[in-house]
């Protein structure tokens, strides 16, 4: 690495992910300053060579590059706004999860303070940080990205710049986490339904993995259809999905199991059927969701 790659970095926020970020920077050789409201969270990092700053302003002044990783953007603003004077002329990389709308607001605030700003989305768990499996998405001015990409590479794995729109990383984040948490909700609901029928989670598990294994190919097929507007059904139709989903809801509610998530999804499917799309592919639902929110 060059001396520039090993430039000082400050990390604000020492939850599990913040500690992982600071640890990766230390392991790569960066002079690392840390700050957290609960100061003793920094103890293990200080033992490894990090500098504990007594205030946010002191932490910011220690480095040209500041990483923030807290619970949401309101928390970021509460942390950095009182230190805006110290932050001016430096770069803030916001690795906090929140909405694209708030990312745009945060970028506008930073610009107004003379702060260079990148928005980031960490797409892998804390234990991956610093290793080959890490994935962090970034968006914001290309000039700022190129100035710090060498340092950010110390976080490990892949670092993808998505373009100058500062909300782009957050948009990817919420869309991808929509996939994850909707899937996790479905899996836990399936285990609850199976259990009500006397099937243990371990008994269902290999078959659940088989069903999950169908998804990568389906995601590819759906993406291709959505982008070209091809909703001709080759295998199954929206109408057949509606029937299956209603069976699941009936079985679940017959056991007193809450089925609100699938009921809500079923209403979108029913809306598509009522609009005359029952014989089309599931990909049509992207447009139906958009119209429902319009």
227-249 confidence digits (pLDDT tens): 999 999 998 999 999 999 999 99
**Residues 144 and 45 reside in one and the same domain:** yes
Q: In the predicted model, is pLDDT for residue 2 greater than 90?
A: no
Domain final residue, candidates 135, 163, 191: 163
State the average pLDDT over residues 130-142: 98
116-122 β-sheet, strand order: 51-52, 32-35, 9-12, 65-68, 91-94, 116-122, 135-139, 158-161
Please count the structural domains in the chain. Answer: 2
| pLDDT tens-digit series, residues 59-95 | 999 999 999 999 999 999 999 999 999 999 999 999 9
The answer to whether 25 and 173 are in contact (CB under 8 A) is no
**Residues 183 and 114 reside in one and the same domain:** no
Q: In the predicted model, is pLDDT for residue 113 greater than 90?
A: yes
Domain final residue, candidates 163, 194, 214: 163
In the chain, the N- to C-terminal Cα span, in Å, equals 50
**Residues 179 and 74 reside in one and the same domain:** no
Domain final residue, candidates 140, 163, 186: 163
2 lies in a domain? no
Q: In the predicted model, is pLDDT for residue 1 greater than 50?
A: no
**Residues 49 and 81 reside in one and the same domain:** yes
52 lies in a domain? yes
Could you tell me the pTM of the whole model? 0.92
Q: In the predicted model, is pLDDT for residue 99 greater than 60?
A: yes
State the average pLDDT over residues 283-292: 91
**Domain that includes residue 219, residue range:** 172-293
**Residues 42 and 144 reside in one and the same domain:** yes
**What is the pLDDT at residue 294?**
54
Q: In the predicted model, is pLDDT for residue 57 greater than 60?
A: yes
230 lies in a domain? yes
């Amino acid at each position: 690495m060059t001396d520039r790659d090993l430039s000082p970095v400050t990390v604000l926020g020492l939850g599990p992910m913040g500690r992982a970020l600071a640890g990766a920077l230390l392991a790569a050789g960066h002079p690392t300053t840390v700050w957290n409201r609960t100061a003793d969270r920094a103890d293990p990092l200080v033992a490894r060579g990090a500098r504990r700053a007594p205030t946010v302003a002191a932490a910011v002044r220690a480095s040209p590059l500041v990483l923030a990783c807290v619970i949401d953007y309101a928390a970021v603003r509460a942390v950095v706004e009182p230190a805006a004077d110290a932050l001016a002329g430096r770069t803030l990389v916001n690795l906090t999860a929140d909405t694209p709308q708030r990312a745009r607001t945060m970028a506008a605030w930073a610009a107004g303070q003379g702060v260079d700003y990148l928005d980031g989305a960490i797409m892998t768990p804390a234990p991956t940080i610093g290793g080959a499996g890490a994935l962090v998405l970034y968006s914001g001015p290309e000039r700022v990205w190129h100035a710090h990409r060498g340092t950010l590479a110390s976080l490990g794995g892949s670092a993808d710049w998505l373009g100058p729109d500062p909300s782009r990383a957050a948009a990817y984040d919420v869309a991808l986490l929509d996939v994850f948490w909707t899937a996790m909700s479905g899996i836990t609901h399936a285990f609850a339904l199976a259990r009500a029928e006397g099937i243990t989670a371990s008994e269902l598990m290999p078959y659940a993995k088989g069903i999950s294994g169908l998804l990568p190919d389906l995601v590819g097929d759906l993406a291709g259809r959505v982008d070209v507007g091809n909703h001709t059904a080759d295998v199954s139709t929206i109408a057949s999905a509606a029937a299956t989903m209603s069976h699941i809801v009936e079985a679940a509610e017959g056991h007193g199991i809450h089925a609100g998530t699938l009921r809500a999804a079923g209403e979108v499917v029913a809306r598509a059927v009522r609009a005359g799309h029952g014989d089309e592919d599931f990909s049509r639902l992207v447009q139906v969701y958009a119209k429902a929110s319009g």
